[in-house]
Chains A and B, each alone.
Chain A
Amino acid sequence: MEAKVISKQDLATWIDALVKQYEVIAPVTEDGVVVFRQVSGLSEMTIEGMVGPAKSLREHFTPPTETLFDYKLEDLSAEVIPPENEERHRVIFGARACDAATLLYVGAVYSNVEPIDTAYFMRREKTYLVGLFCNKPAWSCFCTEVGDFLTNPVAMDVYLTDLGNRYYAEPLTPKGEELIGLGNFRPADENDKVANEEIRQKALERLPKRAEHETACLSYDWDHPVWTELAKKCLSCGACAFLCPTCHCFDIQEHPKLKKGSRYRCWDTCQFEKFTLMASGHNPRETRKERTRQRVFHKFKYSQERYCMLGCVGCGRCIAACPVNIDIRRVLEELEKTAVAK
């Protein structure tokens, strides 16, 4: 599909055209950090020189709390009322390559065994992604260590690159071409292509090289000393997991009222002690040693064994957010030292 270019002056009218047809979700600054919210125009967006968004797209596909169904009680009987489906189609504008890649992973988790998670896939089907290349990766970014989706994007419909006074746009799906058709784009010329390549190259130079985490991870050491070390530092606050785009674990709870109520699911994490605590008092992951190991092993080992992919997109959010500076890259380095030595 042919690459196109839109000038920055024309961006606002393109966004307006998108807003007319779709619910548009884009990066905005909220309480000093960049998050994705529904917008009604370019003026609300934080898109120029955008640093890595603090929060991923996760909440737009699996909300922090989501009603599974409502119910009404009547003496001995009960009635279950399913939630209404969201009807409107959405465009997520300015999605990062790592967050888009997450959709592939979480999609595998929610569909690898039947029944599939219908709520998740209904949202996905109704969502189109206009991605944005990361000109200035953050210090904590390492997506290039775990995949090549920064330059070969997945799950996107359009991929934009900021070329200074204009955006370079690669349509990746027919839907992407349709979205581009709503703006004042012109075909990309040789200059644009060269500029696009240069910017990509510069960004790649700032990022680490592809690492062989896949092979190393499979021979990880269950009793590695790094787990004891992590257990000493970790606070079990769960910040890493709640900010992680690929973390998908949830709890199921109930809002009971006298004669009616609802059952909902809400984000939960393996970093919390009660996550695996059973009614009998038995807890297979009682200490932080087991729990920190679960997080790293789940992403780098179990996910490969189960879904044939890594469960980490290298967004670095867990690194940036950890109050005690636990850095998953260093953990991997430690693990891989012994894995290679084996």
Chain B
Amino acid sequence: MRIENPYIPKLATIEKIITETWDTKTFRAVFKDEELRESFTYEPGQFQEVSVFGVGEAPFCLTSSPTRKGFVEFSVKKIGSVTSALHEIDEGATIGIRAPLGNWFPYEEFKGKDLWFIGGGIGMAPLRSLLNFCLDNRKDYGKVNIIYGARSSGDLCFTYEFDEWQNSPNTELFLTIDKEEERWNKNVGFVPAYVMDLKPSPKNAIAITCGPPIMIKFTLQNLKELGFEDNQIWTTLEMKMKCGIGKCGRCNIGPKYVCVDGPVFSYAQLKELPPEY
């Protein structure tokens, strides 16, 4: 049993801040403790509790891939107190991190399969970790397809990585925005509808989706219609959290705590749970 106080974060320095969109920034942080920086590892899909001292702590998924070592990245949409405080800070600032927390995508089970990443808005953040992980282990997976949508072109995150994704072998990026825009030559329409246009084949495939609840709901319906089985569809959930370690009791869906039994669930697992998320 670990006897460390589990609520004490490890100190880290913000090394780099990328402004993704008008309300979203990506932070790259490095642990101050050199030994920890070297030894720290995590799995795609896991999350962390980030502390801004003087304001509070909030959970964010690790958007970086564990294949890229020495730092962690997380993307933050400005929405309340901690997220606003993060948007205020500068490079060089000290934050606290408790990580890695939660479960992860069963990427071993995904080996040899075609992957469909289906992300909406900030929901691309957790998918990016697994996506880059798969691209860094390219030979382990079949065709990698990325469907990524946002309200407008200005709301798309990680645009600086689009080339890398597109240019990876046997990988295709499908972008979509909700409304017509000048000089936009990609798809226009909501993500679930675009999924129907692209008609992914469920044969030897896995779909991984994350985005606003309404997008997930219709994407699920459409994937089912295309013949995807419940255990071929994976998602990552968001619930109000505090402790992140299964103690404070607020992130439960029935008997499961999203912070320790999740945030990653297959649709088959979700169907076993009460509809309270």
Contacts and interface: CB of A to CB of B under 8 A. Distances in A.
Interface in B231-256: 238-240, 242-243, 245-250, 252-255
A284 B276 contact: yes
Interface stretch (A148-156, A175-183, A273-281): A273-281
Interface centre among B3, B56, B248, B277 (most CB of A within 10 A): B248
Q: A interface, by DSSP: helix, strand, loop or mixed? A: mixed
A269 to B, nearest CB: 9
Interface string A77-117: 11010110000000000000000000000000111111111
Interface in A108-131: 109-119
Contact of A280 (B5, B79, B242, B249): B79
Given A76-B94, A78-B96, A278-B239, A301 B79 contact: no
Contacts of A80: 8-9, 11, 96
Interface string B42-63: 0000000001011111000000
A22 interface: no
B4 interface: yes
A118 B11 contact: no
Contacts of B250: 249, 268, 270, 275-276
Contacts of B274: 222
Contacts of B3: 118
Nearest to B7: A68
Given A279-B83, A284-B239, A306-B255, A115 B2 contact: yes
B57 A117 contact: no
A12 interface: no
Contacts of A297: 254
A261 B53 contact: yes
Interface in A279-303: 279-280, 282, 284-285, 290, 294, 297-298, 301-302
Contacts of A111: 1
Size bracket of the A interface: 35 or more
A298 B249 CA distance: 10
A252 B57 contact: yes
B99 to A, nearest CB: 12
Given A248-B249, A285-B276, A69 B5 contact: yes
A247 B128 CA distance: 38
Interface in B1-44: 1-9, 11, 13
A252 B59 CA distance: 13
Interface of B: 1-9, 11, 13, 51, 53-57, 79-80, 83, 92-94, 96, 213, 238-240, 242-243, 245-250, 252-255, 260, 274, 276-277
Interface of A: 68-69, 71, 73, 76-78, 80, 82-83, 109-119, 222, 248-254, 256, 261, 263, 265, 268, 270, 275-280, 282, 284-285, 290, 294, 297-298, 301-302, 305-306
